[in-house]
Structure 1
Amino acid sequence: MLIANPIKDFYEKILHERVLVLVSLDVDSLTACKILQSLFKCDHVQYTLVPVATKVDLKNAFDEHKEQYQHVIMLNCGGNIDVLDFLQPPEETVIYIADSHRPIDLVNFYCDQQVYVIMKHDDTEEMSAIPEYDALYHEDDEEPASDEESSEEQVAKRPRLDEEELKKRRRRREWEEKRKEILFDYEEFSYYGTSTAFLLFELAWKMSKDNNDLLWWGITGVTDQYQNKKIGRDKYVSSILDLQGHMSRLNHRYEDQDNTTSVNCMKINFEHDLNIAMYRHWSLFESLRHSICSATAFKLWTSNGMKRLHQFLAEMGIPLTQCKQTYNFMESGIREKLSGLMEESAQKFGLDNIKFQSFSAQCGFNHKVCASDVVFAVSSILEDFSSSEDANSYVNFVKALDSLAKISTKQLQSGIDQAKVQLTSMVSNVSTAIEIGQVISYGPFLYTFIKEGMRDYKNFGGAIFLNAFTHHLLHCYLRSLGKSKRDRAKNLPLVVCASHDTDNGVCIITGVPPLAEDSKKNLFGRAFTHAAERINSRIIDEYFDPCTITLKSEDRSKFLDALIAIMS
């Protein structure tokens, strides 16, 4: 059921209860979790946090705790599955779902008990996509005939139907066919709605419990969606304009209290920032080398591309020694002019979208941190495979939460350093894949397979890293083609498969939509499910994003053949 009043129908009902919070492993979920933790701390709500990466984890976590908790909150998990059927909760259990995955399962949306969905009511695009109740559910005393009843013997025993009864059954068949069409249209594509962190920040604001820390987490959640290509530019701009209004309101409040405010309080700024990776924590040269916009514009996987990068830096008039110097140690005059110099030179070199609207935060006398820097850092901590032992998702989850506590924590800086290593590995593998012609056209889509011998192949076992790699590879691959081939290929989506668990013979597969489409709607979720059903292969781990799955490596070839047949 859709909650009409989140304060009354959700928050006030859990105030004096013990709550189980199930959190998906992505940055938006963790920032939403931090906001919820802050609210719970204010009101002394007892809760237990459990991280869940897949639907199997969700089922196991719920079964383990369902006897102890009657109130369950799901952050970015459970929204696109029928939780009543999947979890089989006890009758006294109440489940609250705040999930940005779309489409929302219609049973969750229209269920009148136990399951409550938290969504933005003023998001007309999302709400208009929900089919009407009457188009899906039809109250009729007559049950549809079973296969046994349709036998010749049963038909012979039935009394002859009058004309009115025949018309009634014909209308019923027409309604069922129409219902199938509506459901197909609704479930055909998967996409993302409003950030869950933003949703919970607005809940805190309506209860007058918001502050700059909560606002920063809301900003980081929205930035995560945009940076990882989950939402388009229009939705991102719409969200950050709302957040900018909240920033102005909170800053005005602190200005009124200027005499009593500590210097260590976090200050948030809205600005047009450079759209290059972690440049405040890296050198300008390395940041440009490892960002999608500059890598594709200059074709940095080629020697000519590196020459163009050097020409670009020379055009700005910045000495190469300064460009290769860590940002904090660059001359202060260059740092102050950097944004304007880069924007001016970018136009001459076809470097589009070099700047974007963003937020930065500063605490005391520490260096400024951009929201996109935090997304890089927290994502790298969540998918830390550097340990010799198997990655412990719970340990990584706790570290990632700690890194969000303050923008000046050592954990966050460690995450930024780790993100540089992961990004370097990603760009290196993208260059290799293009140079050796690893991207192949499979008819209705492009395809590549990441072999075990590739550099840092363990990183590809993480869904966040694999998704970022796939988007980066698609941009660079299209740029590497000639104009005629590029015009054809830009309408093709990309599927990437990588080794996930070599000991058990499991691979991970993800797909992203073509660049020619402005919409971020992805058809692979439904296509992957149908392809697996066609070859009778079981999807081993189903992620909450249906466009990423894992299955047995031995079924990979048959799965791809089935996918080609479905999409052709």
Structure 2
Amino acid sequence: MHPRVLMECLFQCDQISYSLVPVTGWSNLEAAFQQHREQFSLFLFLNCGVTGDLVDNLRPDHHHRFFVVDSRRPIHLVNAFATQVREKTLRDDIQLPDYDEIFREDEEQWDGGEEVMDEDEQKEKETTDEVRTHSALLLFELAWTLSKDSNEMLWWAKKIPQGKYVSDIAWLQRHVSRLNHRQEEGAGGSHSHDSLRLAFTYELSLSLYQHWSLLDSLTHSLPTWAGLKLWSLAGQRRLQGLLADTGIPLREARQTFSAMDLELKTNLQQLFDKTLNFQGKCLLSGSFDLGVFTTNCGEDYFIFLTVCFLSLWDFLCRGGVAKLMEGIERAKLWLECVHRVVASCIATAQLTSLGPFLFCTLSQGMPDVGVFCHPDRLRVLSLHLLHSHVHSTKNRRSRQLPLLVSVPLEKLISSSLCCSFFGRAFEKAAETTASHIICDNFNSAGKVSLIGKKNI
């Protein structure tokens, strides 16, 4: 959604007419292209298309031109070198290898033996595979190149998970300083009451703690939930002991963060650094301040945008404060729902080892199971469930296994945000057993698949 807002803003700056067509998978993309191929010659693929062969799948005419902005991996090599396709998948300071380096003919005949990489080649390959810049950051870089960037556009670009921009923190910090300085010069050195000001600050990895009580935030944050085993009574006692060790009274921890003692709020990070060794959990996070409105953290913003996906456009508007506060409350309820389900699965030992992976199925009659039909929400539930299992089991081998979670389908879902290739195993198994599954999504990993009950 955020890349779409940035792209629409660029189109509106130059008064460019366009048609917006949402797609959910490759078959949907092909149908949309066939429907509009006679009317348009320029097509922009936003967050789709980079993992497949666009020329072979869509078979465009000679006058068609494709522009791709996508952060998914791996990049299909045909798209990278096709004359009809122009990609914006990497930062300008990162370049793809030359054609001759990828498609070179070896003089010596291949003997069929296994190719062995030395240590330097393996490290270079791993580094190349990890280069992945979010589409929103790519589009902001384009806006900056065209001198159309602003503080608001930079904030849209930062409304993504922290893990997606950790490698670009220094680059983002330079833009924050530049835009804030330009804004102050335009306002005569003063901070206007309706201006948007950005900052990078160190934040504890605690969910919504600025909008919640500290006790609730600790209870529903993944590091403390799994590390202290808060689904058990012993874990609750550990949490109370943690608060006692940090010197935070239980009365202060139970009230909202904004109502806490000012000295405790100021020294909160130092208190947890000494007690819980949170150095690895403190992440450099983007925050914003609009007028006298409460400062918000970019990671928190992403959580309640995920919960309220269907109302994203209202949340992205600067005037949608009421919608924003509603989203915060719904995000709290959603996190409580996630941990209720995780606690139930751990208590009833629903995770079973099936050899190469762990398996957990949520039955139709379980409370709140319908909430997790959306791939993004299922992904968060799986992450919390896997971390909780790792901290609760004594079996060392099971700690290294991937997790497969099955939920009853209530509506069609066919998208994914994962970059794991674990889903390839199910495609191969379906071919071997002649089972019918649907893996119609742009992510080549195919983490979310539709499997008929008769094939399970």
Normalised-by-shorter TM-score class: 0.7 to 0.9
Quickly say closer, same or farther: Cα 1:331–1:408, change in 2 above 3 A: farther
Native 8 Å contact 1:343 1:354 kept in 2:
no
Question: Where does residue 428 of structure 2 map in the other structure?
Answer: 530
Native 8 Å contact 1:275 1:353 kept in 2:
no
Deviation at 1:548, TM superposition (A): 2.0
Q: TM-score, normalised by structure 1?
A: 0.71
How many Å separate the matches in 1 of 2:40 and 2:56? 19
Q: Is 1:334 paired with 2:264?
A: yes
Native 8 Å contact 2:194 2:290 kept in 1:
yes
How many Å separate the matches in 2 of 1:56 and 1:324? 50
Q: Is 1:409 paired with 2:318?
A: no
Quickly say closer, same or farther: Cα 1:283–1:403, change in 2 above 3 A: same
Equivalent AA in structure 2 for residue 34 of structure 1: V
How many Å separate the matches in 1 of 2:53 and 2:145? 30
How many Å separate the matches in 1 of 2:410 and 2:273? 44
Deviation at 1:329, TM superposition (A): 2.7
Question: Where does residue 219 of structure 1 map in the other structure?
Answer: 158
Deviations 1:406-429, CA, capped at 9 Å, x for gaps: 286322222222222221111111
Deviation at 1:278, TM superposition (A): 0.8
Deviations 1:14-65, CA, capped at 9 Å, x for gaps: xxxxxxxxxxxxxxxx111111111112111112223333333323333333
Identity percentage over the alignment? 33
Q: Is 1:550 paired with 2:414?
A: no
Question: Where does residue 181 of structure 2 map in the other structure?
Answer: 252
Structure 1, unaligned runs of 5 or more: 1-29, 139-167, 179-185, 383-395, 513-520, 558-568
Quickly say closer, same or farther: Cα 1:123–1:491, change in 2 above 3 A: farther
Quickly say closer, same or farther: Cα 1:109–1:511, change in 2 above 3 A: closer
Q: Secondary structure at the match of 2:44?
A: strand
Question: Where does residue 237 of structure 1 map in the other structure?
Answer: 166
Question: Where does residue 290 of structure 1 map in the other structure?
Answer: 220
How many Å separate the matches in 2 of 1:192 and 1:555? 40
Question: Where does residue 198 of structure 2 map in the other structure?
Answer: 268
Native 8 Å contact 1:110 1:133 kept in 2:
no
Of the structure 1 ranges 97-106 and 352-361, higher mean CA displacement relative to structure 2 is found in: 352-361
Q: Secondary structure at the match of 1:454?
A: coil
Q: Is 1:460 paired with 2:389?
A: no
Question: Where does residue 437 of structure 2 map in the other structure?
Answer: 539
Q: Secondary structure at the match of 2:449?
A: strand
How many Å separate the matches in 2 of 1:453 and 1:553? 19
Alignment match of 2:136 (pick from 188, 194, 197): 197
Q: Secondary structure at the match of 1:542?
A: coil
Structure 2, unaligned runs of 5 or more: 116-124
Quickly say closer, same or farther: Cα 1:106–1:525, change in 2 above 3 A: farther
Alignment match of 1:498 (pick from 396, 407, 421): 407
How many Å separate the matches in 2 of 1:312 and 1:134? 55
Question: Where does residue 335 of structure 2 map in the other structure?
Answer: 423
Q: Pick the structure with greater CA Rg.
A: 1
Equivalent AA in structure 1 for residue 421 of structure 2: L
Quickly say closer, same or farther: Cα 1:511–1:374, change in 2 above 3 A: closer
In the TM superposition, 1:112-511 aligns within 5 A as 112=83, 114-120=84-90, 127=96, 132-133=99-100, 136=103, 193-221=132-160, 224=161, 226=163, 236-259=165-188, 262-347=192-277, 353-382=280-309, 396=310, 399-406=311-318, 409-482=321-394, 485-486=395-396, 488-501=397-410
Quickly say closer, same or farther: Cα 1:193–1:407, change in 2 above 3 A: farther
Deviations 1:187-240, CA, capped at 9 Å, x for gaps: xx997721111111111111111111111122223xx262xxxx5xxxx43211
Deviation at 1:456, TM superposition (A): 1.4
Deviation at 1:119, TM superposition (A): 2.6
Native 8 Å contact 1:316 1:342 kept in 2:
yes
Quickly say closer, same or farther: Cα 1:510–1:92, change in 2 above 3 A: closer
Quickly say closer, same or farther: Cα 1:250–1:315, change in 2 above 3 A: same
Equivalent AA in structure 1 for residue 260 of structure 2: M
Deviation at 1:285, TM superposition (A): 1.1
Native 8 Å contact 2:206 2:221 kept in 1:
yes
How many Å separate the matches in 2 of 1:292 and 1:321? 23
Quickly say closer, same or farther: Cα 1:215–1:327, change in 2 above 3 A: same
Q: TM-score, normalised by structure 2?
A: 0.88
Native 8 Å contact 1:190 1:522 kept in 2:
no
How many Å separate the matches in 2 of 1:447 and 1:471? 13
Deviation at 1:508, TM superposition (A): 8.2
Is the strand fraction higher in 1 or 2? 1
Deviation at 1:84, TM superposition (A): 2.3
Native 8 Å contact 2:374 2:413 kept in 1:
no
